[in-house]
Amino acid sequence: MSDQLFQDRREAGRVLAGLLGRYRDRTDLVVMALPRGGVPVAYEVALALGAPLDVFVVRKLGLPGREELAMGAIAGGGVIVFNEDLVGALDISPRVIGRVAEREGRELLRRERLYREGRPPPDLAGKTVLLVDDGLATGASMRAAVEALRAHRPAWIVVAVPTAPEASCLELDALADEVVCAVTPSPFLAVGMSYEDFAQTTDEEVRDLLRAASGPRRVPPSGSKR
């Protein structure tokens, strides 16, 4: 299965849901998506498992001028996880990190307000939480999410992604209670390499999917790709 290509994030979500069937119809289950790309995946997981869906916003801390390099990530509650190897190797100053963290923290709050549209965040205490993204590369964003989520006192945390390098899955296994990675390509080049269609997920699509998930009928919103 290591060379599988998903058609798009929605199909990846359906594949992932098939690996999580043991959680179906549990009353303590909440699916939390890492936006933006994790939301279409998580929507399908929540739909298949009969669980509520919400977002857990995490922002990558990109190195100024080389934003593709993640110095770390910031999640709700001010939790910051560093890529210590990169920070040490490039001798990145605390001032640089602080400036980027402040900017991304503002964007994190903006996105939470934008996506929830006044809906309160769910109470996660004592719940089984599925943290879903469209894939992992370094895993920094997911590590920040897991550490931030612990502050909400859930009973069980499951990290679930369609694609990731095996090393990232093993690293997260030490932080989360369970890790489910549908495919682990080797060599792992990029998350998008596991998808035929990896077009950017828009804020509008995120809002549409969250509205659909919270509505009385759990059906895909109009215009969404299947």
Cis status, amide bond into 111, omega within 30 of 0? no
Work out the percent of the chain whose per-residue pLDDT is above 90.
66
- pLDDT confidence of residue 75: 86
Say if residue 77's pLDDT is above 80. Answer: no
223 — pLDDT class (breaks 50, 70, 90): very low
- pLDDT confidence of residue 217: 46
At 180 the three-state DSSP class reads strand
4 — pLDDT class (breaks 50, 70, 90): low
Strand pairing report for 156-163 and 128-132: parallel
Q: Bridge partners of 129?
A: 30, 157
Which residue did the predictor score with more confidence, 69 or 32? Answer: 32
pLDDT tens digits, 182-207: 999 999 999 999 999 999 999 999 99
Q: Which residues are within 8 A (CB) of 216 and not within 5 positions of it... i.e. 6 or more apart?
A: none
- In CATH, what class is 9-57+122-214? alpha beta
Kindly state the DSSP code that residue 174 receives in the 8-state scheme. Answer: T
Say if residue 6's pLDDT is above 90. Answer: yes
- pLDDT confidence of residue 73: 85
Residues 59, 112 contacting (CB under 8 angstroms): no
| Tokens standing for residue 6 | 């998903």
- pLDDT confidence of residue 129: 98
pLDDT tens digits, 139-176: 888 988 998 898 889 999 999 999 999 999 999 999 99
| Tokens standing for residue 190 | 């990029």
For the chain, domain boundaries: 9-57+122-214
> How many angstroms separate the first and last alpha carbons of the chain?
22
Q: Which residues of 103-134 are buried (b: 16+ CB within 10 A; e: fewer)?
A: ebbeebeebeeebbeeeeebebeebbbbbbbb
- pLDDT confidence of residue 46: 98
Q: How far apart are CA 57 and CA 110, in angstroms?
A: 10
Q: How far apart are CA 34 and CA 40, in angstroms?
A: 10
pTM: 0.85
- Looking at every residue in the chain, the average pLDDT score rounds to 90
50 — pLDDT class (breaks 50, 70, 90): very high
